[in-house]
Amino acid sequence: MDEIRTPAYQIFQARHGRPGSEVGDWQKAEASVSADPTKDASKADAATSVQVPANTGTIQDALTKFHSSIEHGLTHEEAATRLKQDGPNAIEEKHISPLKRFLTFLWGPIPWMIEIAAVLSAVVRHWEDFVIIFFMLALNAVVGFWEEFKADNEIEALKKHLALHSRVLRDGKWSDVEAKTLVTGDIVMVKLGNVVPADLKLVDGDYLSIDQSALTGESLPVDKNKNDIAYSGSIVRMGQMNGLVTATGMNTLFGRTARMVESVKTVSHFQQAVLKIGNFLILITLCLVALILTVALYRGDPLVETLLFALILTVAAIPVALPAVLSVTMAVGASALARMKAIVSRLVAIEEMAGMDILCADKTGTLTKNELKLGSPVIFKASDAQDLILGAALASRTEGGDGIDEAVIKGLSDISALKAYQITHFTPFDPISKRTEAEVKHDNATFKVSKGAPQVILDLVHLDADARKKAQDQVTDLASKGYRTLGVARTDAQGKWEFLGLLSLSDPPRDDSASTIATARKMGLQVRMVTGDNLAIAREVSVELKLGPNIAVASDLFPDGKSDDSAKIDAADGYAEVFPEHKFKIVKALQAQGHIVGMTGDGVNDAPALKQADCGIAVSGATDAARAAADLVLTATGLSVITSAIAEARKIFERMNSYAIYRISETIRVLLFMTLAIVVFNFYPVTAVMIVLIAVLNDFPIMTIAYDNTIVAPRPVRWDMERVLTVSSVLGVLGVISAFGLFWIAEKYLLLPRPVIQSLIFLKLLVAGHLTIYITRSAGTFWKRPWPNWRLVVATETTQIIGTLAAVYGWGMTPLGWKYALLLWAYALVWFFINDMAKVEVHRLLNLGTQRHQRHLARVNASHHPAVVKAANSAD
């Protein structure tokens, strides 16, 4: 019904600026897509960006290649042979057994440390330690397995979109067969409502109108004629044709999309950070254990006692609850996001969302409403705008479900006005006439109305040269702004056609898109539009949403299917004429530039890019395949929830970051103190029972950090391991100094026996450890807002009270008494203020170093701009 129907014509129109060109021009462009038999099936034609099967050529060439015919198709024997050779027309699946998947969560640096500790506990028959350690190991594995259990079902979701049965011609007879038994060379019939079962070269019939938006991202159904390609997984909206199967299963465009989804293997920044933390702690543990064993062997200490201490040291070093605490923190955040109508399917995506600095937003259905809307009309013979729209509405069907007809009818200020008119005959749209026509009766008068491609309507009405040029200029101007246009005509009392005017159509942006983009920019997030529509449409929408005019055409970015300029991809404000392979490669190119990339989408075509992205976001109404591949599924329309989700994700990240600093500093403090105590003083500062109590009392209550109050970072946040390890190390070393200070005071001045000193040090490690969490919550002083959440305060102080009572009354240790317990609390509070001041100073120095580094980079990058260099130098 509109003049822009096929991908080739869209691109021809956009590049030549002649939306009113004769039909023959764009048919030649379309034909050129399939004419070259040398194209690779996995690549898009560089000139047109249209995906075509390999080596098809003309219809007769294709029939000869596949040894088939329009009249008879294949024989049953030949079909059976090819099915055996090529396999079923289905999406391949690779299943991993649940047991194997579960065991993967028991493999890695942190699980290894926990497993070693469990083995050592069993060897020295410390069964209470063994039970606690084994429980934590199992808890971490179960939490991880449960959260990832549903994350690998993308291929199954894609499979559900394939047609189940097809009508096929074999041995000259039509019959219904299972779609999975189709082979190349089969002649298949597709008609209204069918899902195209394989990639087909259309060889017989009048025409098809196919909805392939889920595969290519085009807004409207496209017309298909003989020699065109119909893609597997697309839906027939109008017409009936026969097609030659040229590709099946994983070799179709649909299958290649599935293969890309299957091939994506990503490791989140969260997983990388946990691995770095684990490796750092392993290195420290190995070094200190080696030192202890060397000293023990040199001193001739008993082997069993040495192994026992190795166990204590290992248990102290293991961040047993680290994965569990971080998982609980993200799970609590996921619940908060669910209340915002954003469902998290992969917990680590929350951390990725916090660091996301580029969001690739699918245009159709995401930034826009995916529904046509009338723009400003161009009036010729019509009395006013409503008269023009009424003429077009009379040439439309209210019940047909056509997007253009619906947009025209909605444009009427009073739909009830149609009741006064009687349609006595209606001629529907077809790709040859390219217009609709209705015979209308009103007040005993009869007239005709027609709407369709502007060139066709102009030929119908026979305008004079000046009026025709004016109309063509208007069509060209509207097309350059991304509008589709319709011509409308009506007969007068003498039956002569009159040109009423032009209607413009567009897919308008969502009401909240502009405000969401503006909010995202304030949060340091760049939004890039991605669309399968042509350059003119993409540029107009981009300017309207204030995304920027620099829209890159995908075929220019990926000549011959490859990217040769990641910087050019990074510099673009959006991407037009994009196919599934392009989306996938755009995400990878941006990631290669160091960005954390989010991708929104709703169709099967978006699934590979959604999975490759650091944070894939399936918007409301997305297909099952898109939802399965995504990390975040939106259940409400629009994008406004994304900015809220990002703010929540940044809060969650701050909680995880503060816990990581806390846990590493505590590990360093306990490890280093105990090692130096045994090496220098030949003294075990705590017993095995004390270590287990410290581990339990420290880690379990700290899970309430998931509810802690925190700031929302104004910019994307990422794991800065240098900062994390530096702050942790400083706090850890200060903890060692304070612990030895206490040991020196207790032994030299208070003259306490060693068992009492052990109880004193136990209480010091516990109290100081819990106070450290208040220090690591933020980079500023501890008394500044946001203050700790009441859950964190209650959990922390409750365990401190329990630990104090255990030390005072001797639960599993020598009683300490209230006098020394209160003195210990005073000592710990003094060091709490010292540590907090040290933390603030370390952050200040790190920030200063970062600023100097950024100014240095600015000077390097601006070496050709003296004014910028002068400004950077003056900042120092």
Catalytic residues: 362
500 burial class (0-12, 13-18, 19+ CB within 10 angstroms)? buried
Alpha-carbon gap, residue 108 to 104, rounded angstroms: 8
Residue from 603, 633, 632 nearest 620 by CA: 633
H/E stretch holding 105 reads: none
683 SS3 class: coil
Cβ contact 526:517 at 8 Å: no
Strands 497-506 and 551-553: unpaired
Alpha-carbon gap, residue 540 to 544, rounded angstroms: 6
Q: How far are the Cα atoms of 89, 199, 232, 604 from residue 247, in angstroms, in the given order?
A: 9, 5, 9, 18
Which residues lie below 8 Å from residue 278, measured CB to CB, with a gap of 6+?
108, 109, 110, 113, 319
- Tokens matching residue 66: 């596949």
Cβ contact 347:147 at 8 Å: yes
- Tokens matching residue 215: 């595969």
Question: What are the residues facing 191 on neighbouring strands?
Answer: 240
H/E stretch holding 449 reads: strand 445-452
- Tokens matching residue 566: 């990641």
According to DSSP H, which parts of 365-512 are helical? 385-394, 403-410, 454-461, 465-480
Residue from 579, 590, 529, 536 nearest 555 by CA: 579
DSSP result, 478-502: HHHTT-EEEEEEEE-TTS-EEEEEE
- Please report how the helices 253-263 and 580-592 are oriented relative to each other, as an axis angle in degrees rounded to 10: 30
Alpha-carbon gap, residue 627 to 622, rounded angstroms: 6
Cβ contact 124:304 at 8 Å: yes
Query: 499 φ, ψ to 5°?
Result: -85, 110
Cβ contact 544:573 at 8 Å: no
Residue from 382, 599, 456, 316 nearest 22 by CA: 456
Q: Is 57 left (phi over 0), alpha (psi -120 to 50) or beta?
A: left
176 SS3 class: strand
Cβ contact 206:241 at 8 Å: yes
Alpha-carbon gap, residue 807 to 464, rounded angstroms: 103
Which residues lie below 8 Å from residue 97, measured CB to CB, with a gap of 6+?
none
Cβ contact 842:730 at 8 Å: yes
Question: What's the Rg (C-alpha) of the chain?
Answer: 35
Question: What are the residues facing 469 on neighbouring strands?
Answer: none
778 SS3 class: coil
Query: 618 φ, ψ to 5°?
Result: -90, 125
Sheet strand arrangement including 342-344: 342-344, 632-634, 615-618, 597-601, 358-362, 526-530, 574-576, 551-553
For residue 422, the 8-state DSSP code is E
Residue from 755, 684, 764, 681 nearest 309 by CA: 684
Question: What are the residues facing 438 on neighbouring strands?
Answer: 426, 449
End-to-end CA distance of the chain: 65
